[in-house]
């Protein structure tokens, strides 16, 4: 399974320009099964302008991604997009398969105080694994990475690849990589982390998107600027690693 990540330099407050960039990136991909986008790629952190910028239920971006998924016959882990719904705003991840069907949607459950997200966004209330390309996977959004309980539950419920879609700032990159590696090692699954590049309102995003094996070994890592990262994933690795070091069998959930 070949996965491509778009470490996109965001175009804050310009969903039209963002969609042009994503279309041209997707159209340029060849031999890829799954394409992954970063967090809030449509608006970036223009939270004060979401009334004006976010489309109702994200229909504009969803229709756009569905069309491209069918055109390219590619599965799309659509990062996340800012959406409006019943006068609220959500930071919503959308997963679309190669037939253009929406297989899963997830609203970020942990909102970031440092970015004033709780003031402008409503939090999601649920999450679960989804199936794409015949495999069980999960997705979390950026700040969610600081809460290991999410990934543990996704892994316990069968996810063997977990996507982390992010706009993680440069100033806290020393947290990003160790957290990603730890989550891969403890859950013995692939971690596919797609961060943004560029900047929004003075916050510079740190890039360093990466694909990490269930052993914690980094398969591919990006620099800080806009870049495409590609890696081949062998989903069987997760089962092999879980057999070699059977942490799931050794758990004592009755104690914690």
The set of catalytic residues is 39, 108, 142
Count residues near ligand AKG (CB under 6 A).
11
Interacting residues with ligand AKG between 37 and 96 (CB under 6 A): 39
Which CB sits closer to ligand AKG, 95 or 112? 112
Binding-site member from 142, 185, 212, 241 for ligand AKG (CB under 6 A)? 142
Distance in Å, CB of 182 to ligand AKG, minimum: 14
143 forms part of the interface with ligand AKG (CB under 6 A): yes
CA torsion sign for 116, 171, 41, 107 is negative
169 forms part of the interface with ligand AKG (CB under 6 A): yes
DSSP lists the bridge partners of residue 157 as: none
Residue 122 contacts residue 88 (beta carbons within 8 Å): yes
Which of the ranges 26-34, 169-177, 211-219, 246-254 carries the binding residues for ligand AKG, by CB under 6 A? 169-177
User: Phi/psi at 241 (nearest 5 deg)?
Assistant: -65, -35
Which of the ranges 28-36, 71-79, 167-175, 212-220 carries the binding residues for ligand AKG, by CB under 6 A? 167-175
Q: Could you please report the per-residue DSSP string of 131-153?
A: EETTEEEEEEEGGGGG-HHHHHH
Which of the ranges 14-22, 23-31, 71-79, 141-149 carries the binding residues for ligand AKG, by CB under 6 A? 141-149
Distances (CA, A) of 203 to 78, 125, 231, 234: 22, 28, 28, 36
User: In 3D, which of 90, 208, 214 has the Cα closest to residue 151?
Assistant: 214
Which of the ranges 138-146, 150-158, 182-190, 213-221 carries the binding residues for ligand AKG, by CB under 6 A? 138-146
Which CB sits closer to ligand AKG, 95 or 140? 140
Residue 151 contacts residue 133 (beta carbons within 8 Å): no
Structure-block tokens of residue 199 = 């900047």
CA angle 141, 121, 193 (to 5 degrees): 10
Residue 111 contacts residue 143 (beta carbons within 8 Å): yes
107 forms part of the interface with ligand AKG (CB under 6 A): no
Which CB sits closer to ligand AKG, 193 or 219? 193
197 forms part of the interface with ligand AKG (CB under 6 A): no
17 forms part of the interface with ligand AKG (CB under 6 A): no
d(CA 203, CA 226): 15
Residues that bind ligand AKG (CB under 6 A): 39, 112, 115, 142-143, 146, 167-169, 172, 175
């Amino acid at each position: 399974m070949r996965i491509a990540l778009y470490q996109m330099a965001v175009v804050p407050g310009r969903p039209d320009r963002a969609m042009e960039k994503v279309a041209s990136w997707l159209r340029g991909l060849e031999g890829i099964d799954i394409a992954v986008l970063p967090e809030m790629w449509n608006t970036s952190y223009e939270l004060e302008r979401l009334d004006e910028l976010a489309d109702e239920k994200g229909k504009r971006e969803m229709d756009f991604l569905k069309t491209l998924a069918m055109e390219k016959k590619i599965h799309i882990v659509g990062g996340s997009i800012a959406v409006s719904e019943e006068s609220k705003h959500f930071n919503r991840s959308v997963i679309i398969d190669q037939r253009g069907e929406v297989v899963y949607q997830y609203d970020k459950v942990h909102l970031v105080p440092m970015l004033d997200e709780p003031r402008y966004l409503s939090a999601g209330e649920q999450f679960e694994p989804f199936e794409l390309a015949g495999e069980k996977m999960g997705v979390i959004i950026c700040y969610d990475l600081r809460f290991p309980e999410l990934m543990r539950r996704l892994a316990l419920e069968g996810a063997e690849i977990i996507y982390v879609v992010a706009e993680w700032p440069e100033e806290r990159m020393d947290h990003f990589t160790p957290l990603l590696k730890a989550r891969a090692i403890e859950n013995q699954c692939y971690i596919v982390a797609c961060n943004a590049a560029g900047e929004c309102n003075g916050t510079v995003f740190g890039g360093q998107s990466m694909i990490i094996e269930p052993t914690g070994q980094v398969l591919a890592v990006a620099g800080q600027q806009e870049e495409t990262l590609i890696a081949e994933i062998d989903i069987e690795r997760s089962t092999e690693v879980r057999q070699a070091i059977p942490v799931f069998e050794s758990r004592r959930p009755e104690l914690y």
